[in-house]
Amino acid sequence: MKIRHIIPLIITGACALAAAIDMTAQFTPQNKLRMAEMAISQLYVDTVNENQLVENAIKGMLKGLDPHSSYSTPEETKELNEPLQGNFSGIGITFNMNRDTLYVIQTVAGGPSERVGILAGDRIISVNDTSIAGVKMKNSAIMKRLRGEKGTEVDVRVLRRQRSSTDTLDFTITRADIPIYSVDAAYMADPITGYIRINRFAAETPKEVSDAIRNLKKKGMKQLILDLVDNGGGYLNAASDILGELLPQGSLAVYTEGTNSPRYNLIASPAGKAPIFDEGRLVVMVNQYSASASEITSGAIQDWDRGVIVGRRTFGKGLVQRPIPFPDGSMIRLTVAHYYTPTGRDIQKPYSKGDQKAYAKDIIDRFNHGELMHEDSIKYVDSLRVTTLRLGRPIYGGGGISPDRFVPLDTTDNTLYYRKVMAKGLINQYAIRYVDENRKQIKKQYPTDTDFTARFEVTDGMLSQLKEIADKEGIEYNADQAAQSRPLFAMVIKALIARDIYDNASYFKVYNEYDPIFREALRLINSPEYDKILAAP
């Protein structure tokens, strides 16, 4: 009896769904998908979340494609777009979480927090009467409370440590637009060499880079180190615009092409806009995490023999995503084409559709195969060999941009003891405490970050204090590993202190003195070897 009742029910349900979709038209995959969704939402035994059902279906379709086609919820889309758009509305602070307390590292110059009197070193303990101290709140949850619509107000309570007392102060801050900078640092590395570090390719990045180049030229810059290490990319047009300041006018920067997307050329410095640094030595720093727009930039510079690439083979992300927004604020980023450098090299490394796991393991595989430590572990394919456009130098495709000068990954200082201390956030905690106790003395003794970088030294006593913190956290001390990691401990402590006292660029002034890629870039740009690399074979 049950079977007789169920069969008509199934047939009736199917017919109703077919009628709703107009099965008189030709049956298509789209109709099939709609019919499946309607069947589940209307006939399934339990209540289903129809929105989640559709989202899962979208994710399932994208999962079988390339590694970079993706779906994001409205909230995720906002978080993805915000850093690339160049600003957000908030209170204008750089902060760090130190033992579940929000510690103000810097206030944005002229921003809302600075205007009301918040200082570096202040602890924000509550926002709109909600405690955020000691409650293990995520950074994202804290930022939601501090950010908001431009012109709205937020009340904060601040703990301020004075020389002999601790005061609790209340502020009302009016939110405003806060710029997000993509140039981390721009300074003179020596009397004629400028250095610019870019962390992403955002809407305002070309202007930031152009401004930085102009300022450095005023200070005597004749040659430039462009740091794209760890830069995961961003907007295609931003890369093309930056190349417009570095390549001869009218040079091809990159082109894109796909099955359903005809070839599209992006030209650097189109007619009417002259580049501002198309002559003078140029070195580009890259590593295995430099991706997408970073690879477009370094690839074009290499193809045109405009400069020397220093570091390690880049990530190999050469797929173009087109954003497809939905009315609810969610978005698909769908791969529609490949990037090609001016010589026709496909930047994208090989992948298998749907095998996200293997793709994600690529960098680990490079490490295990020795590619990050030994140049001769890199295997080039003769069929992918091309020649540069001006000098005819041999270069290779096959995924990523291979450097003209390889710099191995050095893990000597990165001991297990160091990693345990770092993973607990103890170096940062120590630096915050040190700055708290010595801020005025440091600024008096070292008026500029140049003075600080040249003369400040991390002492054995400071490292002993860090060890005491680590001991209290239950990290077993290893004297040999601590000694082996001393240069790394000292560099990170000094760099964090410099950042907290001066600005973000000061961190890189300290870090670069330690970094092997920067040291090689600076050595090479001042060496006759530069011209030997950029010479016809």
Tens digit of pLDDT for each residue in 369-411?
Answer: 889 998 888 777 777 899 999 999 999 888 899 999 999 999 9
Catalytic residue among 126, 182, 317, 500: 317
Q: Exposure of 512 by Cβ count < 10 A (0-12 exposed, 13-18 middle, 19+ buried)?
A: buried
Answer for the pair 207, 238: CB distance below 8 angstroms, yes or no: no
pLDDT on residue 163? 59
Superfamily of domain 183-322+335-409: 2-enoyl-CoA Hydratase; Chain A, domain 1 (3.90.226.10)
pLDDT on residue 289? 93
pLDDT tens, 173-207? Answer: 999 988 888 999 999 999 999 999 999 999 999 99
Q: How far apart are CA 390 and CA 399, in angstroms?
A: 22
End-to-end Cα spacing for the chain? 86
Question: What does residue 420 show for φ and ψ, rounded to 5 degrees?
Answer: -65, -45
pLDDT on residue 182? 92
Q: How far apart are CA 127 and CA 145, in angstroms?
A: 7
Superfamily of domain 87-179: PDZ domain (2.30.42.10)
Nearest to 217 by CA among 241, 239, 193, 242: 193
Q: How far apart are CA 277 and CA 246, in angstroms?
A: 5
Catalytic residue among 113, 269, 292, 506: 292
pLDDT on residue 18? 55
Q: Output the 3-class SS for 183-227.
A: EEEEEEEECCEEEEEECCECCCHHHHHHHHHHHHHHCCCCEEEEE
Sign of CA pseudo-dihedral 402, 403, 408, 409: negative
pLDDT on residue 115? 85
Question: Higher model confidence: residue 359 or residue 223?
Answer: 223
Nearest to 192 by CA among 531, 509, 526, 523: 526
Q: Across all residues in the chain, what is the average pLDDT?
A: 88
Q: Averaged over 102-114, what is the pLDDT?
A: 82
Give yes or no: 144 in active site.
no
Q: How far apart are CA 154 and CA 175, in angstroms?
A: 7
pLDDT on residue 373? 92
pLDDT tens, 320-338? Answer: 999 999 999 999 999 999 9
CA atoms within 13 A on the CB side of 205: 31
Question: What does residue 530 show for φ and ψ, rounded to 5 degrees?
Answer: -55, -50
Q: Averaged over 342-365, what is the pLDDT?
A: 86
Q: How far apart are CA 42 and CA 352, in angstroms?
A: 36
Name the pTM for this structure.
0.86
Question: Higher model confidence: residue 6 or residue 476?
Answer: 476
Beta bridge partners of 87: 179
Give yes or no: 303 in active site.
yes
Catalytic residue among 66, 227, 303, 449: 303
